[in-house]
Structure 1
């Protein structure tokens, strides 16, 4: 078949799939035996895979880099200064840097009992910029930012002025309280995140923050060819914590500020929208958006395929699946399998 769409949900110890990741079917080192983020980044130019592990009972993470051939080429322990481990679910890469988000949600003692991180007023939020080939965590430059949380990053890049631009979904203390209540089965779903941009200026040591949209959204994605490079378009579904009836798939044009929305049935919730490039694509948005959509009352799943250049149009295809796919957050397209 030409490809496979795979939903996934959690962080775990890394595993490898011989036809996909490595010619040899294995890595050549055991140094990667740490937890693994659910969001590894593959450089579209070098083919390298970047990932990290962040045990919640420790105050450090470990950065790893795997060559396109499958060898683990770099591992770097990174000490974090606080007594409580920050919730670090995602990160970002640029052409020359790795970006770490050490924000206001932490794994404190209560979290170790409940399994869910908590907002901390005492934790000093910051974003770190590290050279890709850093030999020590002392090479990380930390930028203080406003108190926020962030599950997911859409992309990051270096602009013409040498600043680091990071686009992701973020919220404040009230948003985290609402999200926590929903995950625990109580509360109001209005606590949500929105699309934000952080711009980190190495020349001044300052970080600026800008809200890019007022839609409650999550799981931002871009064309994989733009990972770590400048992007114009970013795609995201409405957060599943948003009120019923606001179920959208949104295309954000970050050059003009315009947005295009595909409005779903009020009972249908989209998972992460994965960009699949068209053959012989000429433009950044020349391709398809794929998502596992879940019908809440019928308990059914379908693969939704939209035109990425204009997702406001009716779906190109809706593939009703013969079995229910458990509602998950993430997915990935793997071309040329088998």
Structure 2
């Protein structure tokens, strides 16, 4: 093993028993470059690309109560090529991270505290949060792009060197929400943002050259909390769900989420380069969708798959640390009950039909990203530990036959959001590997693990031992090496 410590951050955190600052969520503070890692099995030679994961790693003692989504972003990258793998990790040095580093303490209060506790105006849809860039991560135009779910700035890093390249130059005033999407067939990035000011949402397109090509308002009735979007070959799909801040309390600078089950869900279907007046709204059953899987066009219909929450505002659990009951509820998928679901929007009649695809509690699904926007067959959904924001396995669905297969990570082994890594010269949609970073609490270590996507039951193809035990986090992605190198040579 060749491991180089690049940097160590000294935290100001005080020891406590917070459920999301200990155990599998214990933060990391060392930045590594590591190669020639110990491998159980063999790294396959027919995989070329990077697996990128974002995590939350709080550096400073919180102002008031801490929510895991307040943690500072740390990006972890596994680079696979020629039967070898190396690992790097770095904090995302946002403007807020640098400001708190200079101050030596927290400046911004988090999601669970009122805005007046922040010492400075901040970022995000309600304007007082720290932009920690710790939610989502994608690769576009040859660079990593990390984002914050309440609309901060997009931060770019080189996926091979991890050199920090600062804020995306095309980022609009209202920021970028987490979950921009990359169309691998065109190289375009589609994104949205939202705020508490009219028109409340915007939609845009960035070209393969990393330049803003299109940006339009998407007027809403008031402030909303969209979390994700999806697209087809010709359309982008945004949403207006009946889960949003109480409008009367916003006027008092209080941001309290309410679920309005007497309101319908609405979906905005927009031609990729369409104008505001081209938007068509479709209604559907009330819910909240945290994440979508894919969408595609078929005849007069657009077919969209995602995770329909049966209970978007669940009751607080009976046992939770004092002051943290609501936080624990919103981090428990078994309370919100997300289910794999399908919507069909008929562009000719303007009607919506819906179909439940699986009654199991599933979320954080991924597909072979080369099929985003196109008709596809296979999905890979994460299974969660009841009561916790921890992933315990993956369910593979065959949407053509209805069959499914379960991959369990093992006792006290918790994974990152998986990704699908196509084989070099793959022959079909599921010809590749499932990748995840696994934290093993019994062995007190983390591993990068690959499974053959066609043979999940055969066990890992390889397990690569990492130089430290990783904190759990939110999102991850895969990007093909050939596409990264081509983009960087432009």
Normalising by the smaller structure, the TM-score range is: 0.7 to 0.9
Cα displacement string for residues 261-289 of structure 1 (whole angstroms, at most 9, x for unaligned residues): 11222322322111111010010000111
Within-5 A mapping of 1:18-33: 30=170, 32-33=172-173
Q: Is the 8 A contact 1:178 1:190 kept in 2?
A: no
Query: Per the alignment, do residues 272 and 213 of structure 1 end up closer, same or farther by CA in structure 2, a change over 3 Å counting?
Result: same
Superposition map of 1:164-243 within 5 A = 164-172=302-310, 174-177=311-314, 184-185=327-328, 190-191=334-335, 192-241=337-386
Q: Runs of 5+ in structure 2 lacking a partner?
A: 1-34, 36-47, 55-133, 136-147, 318-323, 486-490
Distance 1:68 1:294 in 2: 35
Between Structure 1 and Structure 2, how many residues are aligned?
Answer: 329
* Residue of structure 1 in register with 2:214 after alignment: 74
Paired with 2:291 and 2:153, the residues of 1 have a C-alpha distance of 19
In the alignment, the residues of structure 1 paired with residue 268 and residue 329 of structure 2 have an alpha-carbon distance, to the nearest angstrom, of 34
SS at match of 2:53: strand
Q: Kindly indicate whether residue 473 of structure 2 is the aligned counterpart of residue 328 of structure 1.
A: yes
How many Å apart are 1:227 and its aligned residue? 0.7
Write the deviation string for residues 8-29 of structure 1: whole angstroms up to 9, x where unpaired. 2422311234679xxxx89996
| Deviation string, structure 1 residues 138-179 (Cα, Å, up to 9, x no partner) | 2111111101110000111101x220111111112x353158
Match of residue 151, structure 1, among 283, 286, 290:
290
Aligned counterparts of 1:89 and 1:79: Cα–Cα separation in 2: 16
Corresponding residue for 2:301? Answer: 163
Using structure 2 for the length normalisation, give the TM-score. Answer: 0.61
Comparing 194-203 and 37-46, the one that deviates more:
37-46
> Is 1:89 aligned to 2:89, yes or no?
no
CA–CA separation in structure 1 for the residues paired with 2:393 and 2:353:
28
Change (3 A) 1:257 1:333: same
Once the two structures are superposed, residues 106-127 of structure 1 have per-residue CA deviations (whole angstroms, 9 ceiling, x without a partner) of 1335689786743223543211
Of residues 303-312 and 150-159 in structure 1, the stretch that sits farther from structure 2 once superposed is 303-312
Would the aligned equivalents of 2:385 and 2:391 in 1 still touch at CA under 8 Å?
no
Asked whether 1:99 is paired with 2:237, we answer yes
Deviates more, 1:282-291 or 1:56-65: 56-65
Greater Cα offset, 197-206 or 25-34 = 25-34
- Greater Cα radius of gyration, structure 1 or 2: 2
Provide the C-alpha distance between the structure 2 equivalents of 1:165 and 1:139, rounded to a whole number of angstroms: 19
Distance 1:13 1:28 in 2: 7
2:218 and 2:352 map into 1 onto residues whose CA distance is 22
Q: 2:200 matched to which residue of 1?
A: 60
Tell me if structure 2 keeps the 8 A contact 1:252–1:260. yes
CA distance in 1, matches of 2:422, 2:159: 21
Task: Give the direction of change, closer, same or farther, for the CA distance of 1:30–1:320 in structure 2 (3 Å limit).
Answer: closer
Cα distance in 2 for partners of 1:260, 1:189 equals 20
2:439 and 2:270 map into 1 onto residues whose CA distance is 39
Where does the alignment leave 5 or more consecutive residues of structure 1 unmatched? none
* Contact residue 262 and residue 313 of structure 1 kept, 8 A: no
Closer/same/farther in 2, CA of residues 179 and 167 from structure 1, 3 Å limit: farther
Distance 1:30 1:3, change over 3 A: closer
Q: Secondary structure at the match of 2:153?
A: coil
Give the 3 Å change call, closer, same or farther, for CA 214–79 of structure 1 in structure 2. same
* Residues 333 and 31 of structure 1: CA distance in aligned 2, closer, same or farther (over 3 Å): closer
What TM-score comes out, normalization by structure 1 length? 0.86
Distance 2:391 2:217 in 1: 42
CA distance 1:72–1:118, shift in 2 (3 Å): same
Residue equivalent to 1:128: 268
